Amino acid sequence: MRYRALGRTGLDVSALSFGASSLGGVFRAIEEAQGIEAVHAALEGGMNLIDVSPYYGLTKAETVLGKALRGIERDRYVLATKFGRYGDAEFDFSAARVAHSLDESLARLGVEHIDIFQAHDIEFGDLDQIVQETLPAMQRLKDAGKARFIGITGLPLIVFTEVLERVGDGTIDTVLSYCHYELNDTALLGILPALERRGVGIMNASPLGMGLLSSRGTPDWHPAPERVKRACARAAAHCSQVGADLAKLAIQFSVRESRIPTTLVGTASPRNIQKNLRWIEEPIDEELLAEVRRILEPVHNVTWPSGRP
């Protein structure tokens, strides 16, 4: 496993990390024991960053993860969780909710502190409130030792740059971006210089585009435009025709970008964890990569709306 510095946090995180949304049954129903085994497989394979949220499975993911982490030395993992999003249409970024949410997460996870405490999908909040109320409340929790670092997450990249422009350097330690550094979308590269100048650590999530880049096909709920889904389906079919796996290519592609410290993969299958770990140690098929990127070129960086207008 390769490890990279996460901005100016002083943390070295694994190039491939564990996205614990899967423990909440976000993608499919899971058995708790299997989810716990997947966490252990990730840690044994060298993944040291685990990202979760009370939103995933309506607190189920945090609860299962807490059980998985019992008895494991606290310095073996970097734990990130979130607050602010609690349901598909339930958001609360108020200072009072920030504090209560952290205490609730600490109890479910069975730990005394969170390494990276993140405002979840800030595009659904009022950015004035995020800057003036939410971030100061997070800073107070950081000062109290309940959280080591402060982060923000979301889909539209513009929310990161807008918030960063309104706060002082060092206010935000990390950003978590999803679906913007993968085979069909590399828009995250456009804001890397701004993040790097401020020493912000970057976490990339959903290297498979929440199912876009998979031979299983895109789930019905996926918000991507139909033309993106069709292009990704063509890419998957092309890989199958040559005996390759689009998911493998996608994970290899995301992980090899050294300017992005870590990429999160979400699976509650120990077998898939082990498979992903093998994949990132194998050389990428450059010829296949070029072919797939040509198929996806017409929809490159095509995304979808998220949050407030």
1 has pLDDT over 70: yes
The reply to whether 9 falls in a domain is yes
Give tens-digit pLDDT for 27-57.
677 889 999 999 999 999 999 999 999 999 9
The reply to whether 293 falls in a domain is no
CATH code assigned at 261: 3.20.20.100
Indicate which residue of 55, 56, 77, 86 is catalytic. 56
Specify the number of domains making up the chain.
1
What's the pLDDT at 26?
A: 67
Average pLDDT in the 110-120 region? 98
Give percent helix, percent strand, percent coil of the chain, each to the nearest 5: 45, 15, 35
The reply to whether 102 falls in a domain is yes
The reply to whether 84 falls in a domain is yes
The reply to whether 218 falls in a domain is no
* CA–CA separation, 209 and 180 (whole Å): 8
Please report which residue ranges of 146-191 form alpha helices under DSSP H: 157-166
Q: Which domain holds residue 18?
A: 3-211+247-283
Residue 146 phi/psi, 5° resolution? -80, -25
What's the pLDDT at 216?
A: 87
* CA–CA separation, 142 and 199 (whole Å): 18
Told to judge if 181 belongs to the known catalytic residues of this protein, a careful annotator would answer no
Long-range contacts of 157-163 (CB under 8 A, 24+ apart): 157/187, 157/188, 157/190, 157/191, 159/122, 159/123, 159/127, 159/307, 160/191, 160/195, 161/191, 161/194, 162/127, 163/122, 163/127, 163/130, 163/131, 163/135
pTM above 0.85, yes or no: yes
